[in-house]
Amino acid sequence: MKILTRYTLKEFFPPFLLALICFTSILLLDEIFRLTKLFVSKGVSLHYLIQLLIYVLPATLVVTIPMATLVGILLSLGRFSTDNEITAMKAHGIGFHQMLLPLLFVSSLLSIFDFFFMDYALPRGNVAYVSLKHDISRRHSAFVLEEGVVMKELEREGKLWLYESTDPDTGRLQDVKVWDSIWSGQPRFVNAKEATVGFKDGQAWLTLYNGVTYEPVSGSANGFRVTDFAKDQIALDFTEALERTQFESKSTRNMPLAELKTHISELEARLFRKQSKPHIDKLRYAQVEYHKKFSIPFACFVFGLIGVPLGLVVKRSGKMVGFGIGLGLVLVYYLLLQIGQDTGRSGVLSPGFAIWLPNLVIGLLGLGFAMRVILEGKLETQQNRGQKPPPSGEKAKAQAVGELD
């Protein structure tokens, strides 16, 4: 390996790793705050919080690796420009390609790594995340409860219920209201001061404490009976919430490449037999996810293609300028990617073209900047060749003496 190649890669990896850690931490902050608030309010173990963050990490890394690639290239080459090392390299006849090829090679390796990471780690991480939430919901029924929200798990059986708040000391539900037999025409209303939710023998139970029951009296149009109780129990069913998490685990986003291709083939076969809008929407969604498995990892290579010429044209004090340019390009790329997802899923553009559009735009910009750097280098060479050679011998000495005088 040439000295220049080793030197370039040595300067690239520290800012790349720093940018990767920073971007990943920033994107995980929202998930950390949301899970922390949820676990503190529900009283679930911190062990589950750490596990969920580990499972969501692959989905974050596949996005931040391309971002860190671009910023790492711009910061490393910006450091070269700041220390005038780019000028020294040009003075010694080092060509643009000698800087471009090592960084493009590393960008290609990162693209390959990101692709396998996205195809292998991301689906498994997402499925593990959803499965763990499913298990937590079954073991800790309070995980699916929300304050001040009407719970409709038992609506088919004619029951609705809600609670106003949670006692921070005891963890008990406060001011619990239950509407029973709502479809019978003679509903029963229960108002309890406190309640707990427990899970026993495969069944969730709502235990009410210190409450009052209001129920109509049979044979009387306006009469009702009031009954006080110290403790009562109602069986709960969280099937709807649990089925929703199981459905999320089967999403096309959580499918490996081979499984996703099979799923797309099945959808195309269904459409061949019968055209329907739900099937068309599912097919578009699956095709968008299929192309994302290639386009997002390929962004590493595209960012390398545009990052090297941009890093070379950054002048002195260009470190922060390069960082700002990198953030701007990252925002443009992921804005175009979001637009591509929406237009691909809606059918405005074909899913393949819509998802590859950001790479196409950034790649063409990169080729344009690269051609500019190459043409500028040729122009400087031609100008240097057109200059007259410096005086030598006696004429040079006489010229030097004259300048001193």
Q: What is the pLDDT of residue 199?
A: 63
pLDDT digits (tens, 9 = 90+) for 298-312: 999 999 999 888 877
> Is the model more confident about 340 or about 380?
340
Chain Cα centroid distance, residue 47: 23
Higher pLDDT, 142 or 400: 142
pLDDT attached to residue 248: 47
- Give the whole-angstrom CA distance, residue 92 versus residue 78: 19
Q: What is the pTM of this model?
A: 0.69
pLDDT digits (tens, 9 = 90+) for 193-234: 888 877 665 566 778 898 888 887 776 666 678 888 888 887
CA angle 63, 97, 75 (to 5 degrees): 45
Please report the pLDDT score of residue 204 as a whole number: 67
The number of C-alpha atoms within 13 Å of 77 and in the hemisphere containing its C-beta is 29
How far apart, in Å, do the first and last CA atoms of the chain sit? 51
Spatial separation of the C-alpha atoms in residues 171 and 140, rounded to whole Å: 12
Q: How far apart are CA 302 and CA 337, in angstroms?
A: 14
Residue range 272-300: mean pLDDT, rounded? 88
**Is pLDDT of 17 > 70?**
yes
Computed over every residue of the chain, the mean pLDDT equals: 78
Banded model confidence at residue 47, pLDDT cuts 50, 70, 90: confident
**With contact defined as beta carbons under 8 Å apart, do 164 and 83 qualify?**
no
Q: What is the pLDDT of residue 314?
A: 63
Instruction: Give me the pLDDT at residue 394, please.
Output: 47
Average pLDDT over residues 27-31: 87
